[in-house]
């Protein structure tokens, strides 16, 4: 508070202005970089989305108002992609959140090899997503020599029954993709929840125990209440990351069979780089941005309140 | 209760309140609780092993010949070999890995160089519109990257940055910058203002203050930020695929090139996947606490 006056002791107006600029100066390179690399492209995307622009027909490029948006909403592929994205994000985030919280509760106690178990559990998140996706497709799901069917066959041989050998990827493609997403993001949810659990003041729990609260009551009224903001944080971040999921779809199913697993990032990619329909791809991109803005509006408030960061900055003003 | 109370939280030294009342005679319920406790420990171990099993299987497959790897049921007694790793090196993994190192390494450095002064202007000597600026910075993170793909592709094409590793460096810097600014902001907010004031009285300029005072104090924060930026850049695939062709391709793009419809490839694919994943896996293992800080955008300390 007092320290801002320490600086130079300027009282003239221009001096104040100069001081304000001096304060802004260190921020400028980063802000300019962000504007150029992340903001201008979005503006360009909006502009492109208003044009009929298919690379194969360069002579037919023209301003076309909202025709691309209408086309996107009519395009069966993009419509399927919107629906699939919703399913993947909702199911994926919820499953990862529930399993992650469960694991965090398991890890939030002392037992032999706790650090090692945590290390095992976070590894799926660290493996390169492309490597993980290819691993699931070819080493786990593969019907002929994948691990799942291999174990089934082994059990069949051992216990003398005819083991089923399903085609996991083409048989239940959505499940196959979502399972990999959940496997990847559960550790993420677990880490944030675990950090939340460990930020809980043990004395509060102790007091509750002395007051005679049982384990369930302790969880319901203390732990869960305390965890809530962490769960919300991991949900918002999870939604943002799963909304951008691309590697898994690209490598496991290529969006198929048919439109069973195509999601928005993948379908937009295909529209742009395989269909060469820049206008339509851009329009679909703008739609994703709108959805993201709605979600992030919620997320931004949450993160600022959780971070306790903005008040800290404001306090010193 | 503040979130920052969780510093050192993951060190695994949580006091167990249940252990406090030390009665001379072990009661029945205490014994039951102890048994439950060890049962839950076993369950945790089980879950950990289940999550790790696919990776363990990949490691196992990578040490086999293709013909021994692609059998059902799995042959656990097949002879081990390291020939797949030799194959991977022979199949030119090096240039792709070097590209990944350049893209992830330089973008991480650039992110730090841009984010530390920026956070100085929001946390240490704050500008007037801190709140608005920070919210705006974070909002850029929430915009889906796919919507930036086409314009960046077109601009990079114009500028000759397609299939150029520096194009990826620029993009990854932009991709990770919002998170980095937030993290650095939350770390620098904790530097006591008196330290800064003292330095200013002594007449130190901004570069000196940054280098002599902010940097040493913020080093743990910088490590966390750098780790996150590196991991996300190293693992990124969509832009690496779209913006590079042959020269500048990175490791995940290399993995995709393994997929052929003919012949067996899973052992070699496993070896390659492990080789390109190892740097990030080890970094994450070693710096688990930093990882949490980064993933929660600095909200968890």
Domain ranges, residue A78: 71-311
Higher pLDDT: A216 or B80? It is: B80
Quote the distance between the C-alpha of residue B58 and its chain's center: 21
- In this complex, the residue of A29, A265, A312 whose CB is nearest that of residue B114 is A29
CATH code (residue B193):
1.10.3720.10
pLDDT tens-digit readout, B163-203: 889 999 999 999 999 889 988 888 888 877 777 777 777 77
Interface contact flag, A30 B181, Cβ < 8 Å: yes
Q: Is the pLDDT of residue A87 over 50?
A: yes
Q: Is residue A232 part of a domain?
A: yes
pLDDT tier for residue B96 given thresholds of 50, 70 and 90: very high
Residues of A in contact with B45 (CB under 8 A): 113, 117
Q: A308 and B3: CB-CB below 8 Å? A: yes
CATH classification at residue A164: 1.10.3720.10
Tell whether A125 is covered by a domain.
yes
CA distances from B52 to A119, B38, B73, B228 (A): 9, 21, 20, 22
Instruction: Examine residue A17 and state whether it is found in any structural domain, yes or no.
Output: no
Closest CA to B102 of B43, B153, B151, B164: B164
Predicted confidence (pLDDT) at residue B234 exceeds the cutoff of 90: yes
Torsion sign, CA atoms A89, A94, A95, A96 = positive
Q: Which of A127, A142, A198 sits opposite B10 (nearest CB)?
A: A198
Residue A40 belongs to a domain: no
- Mean pLDDT, chain B, rounded, equals 83
Residue B187 within any structural domain of the chain: yes
Higher pLDDT, B193 or A307: B193
Q: Does A39 touch chain B (CB under 8 A)?
A: yes
User: Is residue B23 assigned to a domain?
Assistant: no
Q: How confident is the model at residue B5 (pLDDT cuts 50, 70, 90)?
A: very low
A1: confidence class by pLDDT, cuts 50, 70, 90: very low
CA distance linking residue B137 with residue A34, whole number of Å:
8
The CA distance from B82 to B62, in Å, is 8
* pLDDT at residue A310 tops 70: no
Nearest CA in chain A to B151: A41
Q: Is there a contact between B73 and A157 if contact means CB atoms under 8 Å apart?
A: yes
Q: How many other CB atoms sit within 10 Å of the CB of residue B74?
A: 21
**Site from B33, B118, B136, B143 to mutate, A interface, most A CB atoms within 10 angstroms:** B143
Please indicate whether, in this complex, the C-beta atoms of A4 and B133 are within 8 angstroms of each other. no
Is A2 a member of any domain?
no
Q: Which of A2, A22, A30, A266 to mutate to test the interface with B (most CBs of B within 10 A)?
A: A30
Say what the pLDDT of residue A24 is. 81
- Which of A12-16, A169-173, B48-52, B144-148 is predicted least confidently? A12-16
Contact (CB<8Å) B51/A281:
no
At A304 the pLDDT is: 65
Are B3 and A140 an interchain contact pair (Cβ–Cβ within 8 Å)?
no
The total of structural domains in chain B comes to: 1
State residue B10's pLDDT score: 41
Candidates B170, B256, B299: best to mutate against A (most CBs of A within 10 A) is B299
Q: In the structure, what pLDDT confidence band is assigned to residue A11 with cuts at 50, 70 and 90?
A: low
Q: Which of A32-36, A122-126, B59-63 has the lowest mean pLDDT?
A: A32-36
pLDDT at A249: 94
Whether residue B13 has pLDDT greater than 50 = no
| pLDDT surpassing 80 at residue A225 | no
* Chain B contact for A254 (CB, 8 A cutoff): no
% of chain B with per-residue pLDDT over 70: 89
Nearest to A45 among B74, B151, B297 (CB): B151
B298 pLDDT band, cuts 50/70/90, is low
Give the Cα separation of A286 and B147 in Å (integer): 7
The H-assigned helical ranges of chain A are 3-6, 13-24, 28-34, 40-49, 67-74, 76-107, 114-126, 129-135, 147-159, 168-171, 173-198, 202-210, 215-217, 224-243, 247-248, 264-273, 278-307, 309-315
Mean pLDDT of chain A, nearest integer? 83
Residue A40 touches chain B, beta carbons under 8 Å? yes
Q: In B, which residues are within 8 Å of A129 by CB distance?
A: 235, 237, 252
Q: For residue A4, what pLDDT band results from cuts at 50, 70 and 90?
A: very low
- List, for residues A252-276, the tens digit of each pLDDT value: 998 878 888 998 999 999 988 888 8
Size of interface A-B (CB pairs under 8 A): 397
Distances (CA, A) of A311 to A154, A316, B101, B132, B204: 60, 9, 38, 12, 27
Question: Is the Cβ pair A138, B193 closer than 8 Å?
Answer: no
Residue A138: inside a domain, yes or no?
A: yes
* Number of folded domains that form chain A: 1
Range of weakest confidence among A117-131, A140-154, A213-227, B140-154: A213-227
Average pLDDT score over residue span A70-94: 89
With beta carbons under 8 A apart, name residues in chain A contacting B269. 134-135, 138-139
pLDDT of B129 > 90? The answer is no
Q: Answer with the residue of higher pLDDT: A254 or A55.
A: A254
- Domain assignment present for residue A294? The answer is yes
Q: Using CB atoms, which residue from B16, B200, B273 is nearest to A110?
A: B16
pLDDT classification of A18: cutoffs 50, 70, 90: confident
Of B18, B51, B123, the CB nearest to A124: B51
Q: Give the length of chain B.
A: 301
Mutate to test the interface with B, among A130, A215, A218, A249 (most CBs of B within 10 A): A130
Q: Which domain holds residue B275?
A: 90-295
Q: Across residues A159-186, what is the average pLDDT?
A: 91
Q: Which residues, numbered 203 to 232 in chain B, qualify as contacts with chain A under a Cβ-Cβ cut-off of 8 Å?
A: 206, 210, 231
ipTM topping 0.85 = no
The pLDDT value recorded for residue B177 is 92
Give a yes or no: residue B28 inside a domain: no
Residues of B in contact with A245 (CB under 8 A): none
For residue A288, what is the nearest residue in chain B, using CA coordinates? B144
pLDDT digits (tens, 9 = 90+) for B246-277: 888 999 999 988 776 666 888 999 999 999 99
Mean pLDDT computed over B56-65: 93
* A245 touches A88 (CB < 8 A): yes
B62 domain residue, yes or no: no
Q: Which residue has the tokens 């010949």?
A: B65
A38 lies in a domain? no
């Amino acid at each position: 508070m007092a320290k801002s006056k320490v600086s130079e002791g300027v009282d003239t107006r221009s001096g104040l202005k100069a001081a304000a600029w001096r304060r802004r100066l260190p921020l400028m390179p980063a802000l300019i970089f962000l504007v150029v690399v992340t903001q201008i492209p979005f503006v360009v995307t909006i502009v492109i989305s208003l044009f009929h622009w298919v690379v194969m027909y360069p002579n037919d490029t023209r301003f076309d108002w909202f025709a691309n948006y209408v086309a996107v909403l009519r395009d069966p592929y993009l419509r399927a992609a919107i629906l699939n994205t919703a399913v993947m994000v909702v199911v994926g985030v919820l499953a990862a959140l529930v399993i992650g919280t469960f694991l965090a509760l398991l890890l939030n106690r002392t037992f032999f090899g706790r650090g090692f178990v945590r290390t095992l559990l976070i590894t799926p998140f660290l493996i390169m997503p492309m490597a993980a996706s290819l691993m699931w497709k070819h080493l786990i799901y593969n019907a002929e020599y994948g691990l799942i069917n291999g174990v089934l066959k082994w059990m069949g041989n051992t216990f003398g029954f005819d083991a089923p050998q399903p085609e996991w990827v083409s048989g239940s493609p959505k499940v196959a993709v979502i399972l990999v997403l959940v496997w990847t993001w559960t550790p993420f949810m677990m880490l944030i929840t675990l950090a939340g659990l460990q930020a809980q003041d043990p004395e509060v729990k102790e007091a509750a125990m002395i007051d005679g609260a049982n384990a369930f009551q302790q969880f319901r009224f203390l732990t869960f209440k305390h965890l809530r903001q962490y769960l919300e944080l991991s949900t918002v971040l999870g939604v943002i990351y799963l909304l951008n999921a691309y590697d898994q779809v690209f490598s496991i199913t290529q969006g198929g069979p048919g439109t069973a697993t195509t999601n928005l990032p993948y379908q937009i990619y295909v529209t742009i780089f395989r269909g060469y329909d820049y206008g339509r791809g851009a329009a679909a991109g703008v739609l994703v941005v709108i959805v993201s803005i709605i979600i992030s509006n919620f997320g931004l408030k949450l993160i600022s309140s959780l971070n306790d960061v903005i008040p800290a900055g404001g306090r010193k003003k | 209760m503040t979130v920052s109370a969780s510093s050192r939280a993951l060190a695994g030294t949580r006091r167990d309140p249940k252990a406090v009342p030390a009665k001379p005679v072990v009661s029945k319920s205490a014994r039951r609780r102890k048994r439950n406790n060890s049962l839950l420990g076993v369950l945790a171990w089980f879950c950990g092993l289940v999550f790790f099993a696919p990776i363990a299987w990949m490691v196992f497959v990578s040490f086999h010949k293709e013909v021994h790897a692609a059998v059902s049921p799995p042959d656990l007694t097949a002879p081990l070999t390291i020939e797949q790793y030799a194959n991977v090196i022979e199949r030119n993994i090096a240039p792709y890995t070097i590209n990944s190192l350049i893209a992830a390494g330089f973008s991480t450095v650039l992110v730090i160089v841009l984010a530390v002064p920026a956070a100085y202007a929001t946390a240490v000597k704050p500008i007037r519109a801190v709140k608005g600026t920070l919210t705006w910075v974070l909002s850029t993170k929430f915009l889906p990257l796919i919507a930036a793909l086409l314009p960046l592709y077109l601009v990079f094409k114009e500028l000759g940055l397609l299939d150029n590793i520096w194009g990826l460096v620029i993009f990854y810097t932009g991709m990770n910058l919002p998170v980095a600014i937030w993290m650095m902001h939350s770390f620098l907010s904790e530097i006591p203002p008196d330290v800064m004031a003292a330095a200013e009285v002594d007449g130190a300029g901004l570069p000196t203050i940054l280098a002599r005072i902010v940097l040493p104090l913020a080093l743990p924060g910088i490590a966390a930020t750098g780790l996150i930026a590196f991991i996300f850049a190293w693992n990124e695939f969509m832009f690496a695929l779209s913006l590079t062709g042959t020269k500048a391709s990175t490791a995940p793009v290399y993995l995709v090139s393994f997929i052929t419809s003919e012949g067996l490839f899973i052992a070699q694919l496993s070896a390659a996947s492990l080789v390109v994943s190892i740097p990030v896996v080890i970094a994450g293992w070693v710096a688990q606490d930093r990882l949490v800080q980064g993933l929660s955008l600095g909200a968890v300390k």
